[in-house]
Amino acid sequence: MEIAILGATLLLALAAFASQRFRVQMVAMSVLVVLTLTGVVSVPEALSGFSNPAVITVGAVLVVSGGLVRTGVAGTLGRGILRLAGSGKARITSLPATEEKVLQAIGEAGSSK
């Protein structure tokens, strides 16, 4: 019976994702709730993913990026990158990649202490 519940839940989730009528977060959380309430997944198993630092990091990045978009900072940064990079594709893609490498190096230096 569990495999039938899991299969049906996954098919419904795929249909919901494909239709784009619902927010991705709502579909994902609904799957978690349905599988927990039906007993396919235990409560500790359902909540164990939230103790993973990667999940917390992704959530934090989504919150920060949402804030940057709503305040207009992301648009301002994007326009600045386009102004610095010009119209060449290679320059447009290399500038953010270079910035990412610098930020990664700063992060690694900070975490090695």
Per-residue pLDDT of the chain (113 residues; tens, 9 = 90+): 899 999 999 999 999 999 999 999 899 999 999 999 999 999 999 888 888 888 888 888 889 999 999 999 989 988 887 887 777 777 777 877 887 888 788 777 766 65
Interatomic CA distance for residues 11 and 16, integer angstroms: 9
74 and 40 housed in the same domain: no
Q: 2 and 42: one domain?
A: yes
Q: Which amino acid is at 52?
A: N
Answer whether 46's CB lies under 8 Å from 32's CB.
yes
- Amino acid occupying residue 21: R
What domain range includes position 19? 1-51
Question: Do 57 and 111 reside in the same domain of the chain?
Answer: yes
